[in-house]
Amino acid sequence: MYKIEEYKLFQPSLDEAAIVLQDGLSENFNYVDVQVVDCPDLREKPYMLAAEGLCGNPSIADVGGVEYLMPLAKKDKVYDFREISKSIRMPNAFIIGPGAGPRPHIGINCEMMANLKLGEKENINTHVAKLDKDGACELVHLKDNTQFCILGNLFISQGKPGKVLKVVAKNRKGSSNFVTTMRQALGNMFESPVGVGGVFVIRTGKAKLHIMPDYSETPLKSTEDVNNWLKFFNMAAPLSCLSVFVSSDPYKGRKPGLSLSLPCDRQSSTCLSRLASGHLNCLTYSEGNKIYPLCSKCQQHQASPKHILDCLGLDWEEIYSPLLVIDFIKVNRFLDLVYSSDSIGD
């Protein structure tokens, strides 16, 4: 059994969420239509999911994390959907979402698109995308394997029909993508975190997607390292996409990043809070002006919060996980500048 840490997410009514998403998406897309509808049969085309609907005790499981790839992959982090479903007391769970595939089974690290219904009328329809020997994308259908490695961002329910949100957006006019715009809209409206999971279809155009190659033998210490390690592809529509997200900003929840399965220790929590607020351990004042010491990495500029993120190549909106921010800070020896365990008031 896995160690589980539970967090109760805020659940607005579907009607309220529809209004928020309609307004938020309209700022970034020329055409938007958000409605509350009866869930279509998601087992049919173009969705091809393992269960009929998304309803019935919905929840989100954030398993592992990108930090298990940093700086070198933790090869012992192997999980099983059956054990996860038992741990959350849903043995008949319907599970969808992105993650890292079962490396021991596939033979190489890979991208996972989890799509399975456990228990009665079991249906395992998970796919993984891996790099073949020529560096091209190869899809593999997992019909009898329920393991995955390193991380999984999962939407879990009983797979029943019911009321859901249907969101249509066309002709993007802003810089944010579809999912980011929805996350920001919900985060701006609701102080408490809101979780969203489901499937959407890209009907026209192309999408820039990545596939993880096998585990890096060179330590990954920055987002630049991660992006250079990932292999990107322009994929043509139609594409069915599984999406799971939480609306809150990384440092506003009870635990940074709402890492439901990876407890964030008090030091990391305080470190993120200080970085977000600008109240670093190294901060002093001179004639009312903030003074920071010299950056220990570049040795050229003051180590302000903005400079620390810039120097590490990090961005709150683009970073994969706030715990990854902590990992970068520790690896690059910034921790003492941001946080000290014997600071007054800590």
Whether 168 and 242 share a structural domain: yes
10 Å CB burial of residue 101 (0-12, 13-18, 19+) is buried
Q: CB–CB of 149/101 below 8 Å?
A: yes
d(CA 185, CA 100): 28
- Bond from prior residue into 238 cis (ω within 30 degrees of 0): yes
Residue 148 within a domain: yes
246, 281, 311 — which closes off a domain? 246
CA distance readout (Å), 170 to 3, 15, 28, 91, 256: 42, 21, 9, 38, 33
Residue 189 within a domain: yes
Whether 270 and 133 share a structural domain: no
Whether 142 and 282 share a structural domain: no
Whether 271 and 228 share a structural domain: no
Whether 272 and 132 share a structural domain: no
Q: CB–CB of 292/283 below 8 Å?
A: yes
Whether 321 and 181 share a structural domain: no
Q: CB–CB of 7/260 below 8 Å?
A: yes
Sign of CA dihedral 102, 107, 108, 114: negative
183, 211, 246 — which closes off a domain? 246
pLDDT at 256: 36
Residue 314: domain span? 266-332
Joined together, the tokens standing for residue 31 give: 């055409």
Q: What is the DSSP string of 155-167?
A: EEE--B--EEEEE
Q: What is the DSSP string of 40-65?
A: P-TTSTTT--SSS-SBSS-EEEEEE-
End-to-end CA distance of the chain: 34
pLDDT at 209: 86
Whether 118 and 204 share a structural domain: yes
Whether 42 and 118 share a structural domain: yes
Residue 41 within a domain: yes
* Domains: count for the chain: 2
pLDDT at 342: 43
Whether 218 and 281 share a structural domain: no
d(CA 235, CA 201): 13
Q: CB–CB of 152/194 below 8 Å?
A: no
pTM (predicted TM-score): 0.73
- Over the chain (346 residues), the average pLDDT of each successive run of 10 is 80 95 94 97 94 95 87 94 92 94 96 94 94 91 94 95 96 87 90 91 86 93 84 87 78 39 44 52 56 75 76 58 60 60 37
Residue 339 within a domain: no
Residue 345 within a domain: no
213, 246, 279 — which closes off a domain? 246
Residue 341 within a domain: no
Helix (H) or strand (E) holding 68: none
Q: Where would I find the beta strands (DSSP E) of 65-101?
A: 78-80, 94-100
Whether 48 and 192 share a structural domain: yes
Whether 143 and 198 share a structural domain: yes
Whether 211 and 114 share a structural domain: yes
pLDDT at 199: 93
222 Cβ partners below 8 Å, 6+ apart?
312, 313, 314, 328
Residue among 59, 131, 47 at smallest CA distance from 95: 59
Residue 214 within a domain: yes
Residue 118 within a domain: yes
d(CA 118, CA 121): 7
Joined together, the tokens standing for residue 187 give: 């985060």
d(CA 128, CA 341): 43
